[in-house]
Amino acid sequence: MNSPARRFKDAVHGQLARIGRALASPRRLELLGLLCESPRTVEALARLAGLSTASASQHLRALYGARLVETERRGLYVEYRLADERIPGFLRLMSAVAESRLSELRGILDEFVAGRGAMAAVSQAELQRRVRRREVTLIDVRPPEEYRAGHIAGALSLPLPRLRAHLASLPRHRDVVAYCRGRYCLMALEAVDVLRKAGFQAHRLEHGVTDWRARGWKTERTREASLR
């Protein structure tokens, strides 16, 4: 029976399903995660996600159709950004549920992360106290545009591709703590491997900037921070 109540429920759940359909792609989830770090052009997103520009555009159109992203023209390029500041929290909650319910996901995380430089649990206040007292060197190994869009207070910008070239500038008497985009990002793990092979005491911070910001912890927006 097609009652008004039935039509209402079908209409509501049909709209909610638009979000589900837009997210039902590993590539679109990855693109949305990249946009949590900073706005980007189609070309930049395609490069970071290992996609052709045409494929990235197709995925972004699906996200745009679900009103999850919006666009802004900048000269010859179109820049994509998140359409709602609640999207990073939504993705974190989805990840938490997945990790709780899917043993396969936990197995993947254990395979890649366990024993590779995880830092012992430390509070935000304790980490920043150590940074201020120069007891640790905190490095952000994401691309420079992500650092400029927002980074953990006190962190130095040292993108992973440039890390080896700047090892001599890092103080050897301090532990080095590296972070990137969060739990599913491998750049900080790779940075820890490079640092440890060079003789540094190095650790990976599991939290990324979006996780940090979601907890109400301090982040900064600055052009650059030099090594000391």
Residue 95 scores a pLDDT above 80: yes
Residue 207 scores a pLDDT above 90: no
pLDDT of amino acid 129? 83
The burial class, CB within 10 Å (0-12 / 13-18 / 19+), for 178 is buried
Q: Between helices 4-23 and 26-37, what is the axis angle to 10°?
A: 80
pLDDT of amino acid 133? 85
Residue 188 scores a pLDDT above 70: yes
Band of residue 228 on the pLDDT scale cut at 50, 70, 90: very low
Q: Is the distance from CB of 89 to CB of 80 less than 8 angstroms?
A: no
Domains of the chain: 4-88 (1.10.10.10), 118-220 (3.40.250.10)
Residue 6 scores a pLDDT above 90: yes
227, two tokens: 């090594």
HSE (side-chain half, CA atoms, 13 Å) at 27: 17
Band of residue 220 on the pLDDT scale cut at 50, 70, 90: confident
187 closest CA partner among 146, 154, 153:
146
pLDDT of amino acid 134? 82
Q: Between helices 87-101 and 26-37, what is the axis angle to 10°?
A: 130
pLDDT of amino acid 110? 83
pTM: 0.85
Average pLDDT for the chain: 89
Model pLDDT for residues 150-185, shown as the tens digit of each residue: 999 889 999 999 999 999 999 999 999 999 998 888
What is the percent of the chain where pLDDT is above 70?
92
Q: Which residues of 193-202 are buried (b: 16+ CB within 10 A; e: fewer)?
A: ebbeeeebeb
Catalytic residue ranges: 180
For β-strands 136-140 and 151-152, DSSP reports them as unpaired
pLDDT of amino acid 117? 54
pLDDT of amino acid 36? 94
pLDDT of amino acid 101? 97
Residue 121 scores a pLDDT above 90: no
Give the C-alpha separation, 17 to 33, whole Å.
20
Band of residue 75 on the pLDDT scale cut at 50, 70, 90: confident
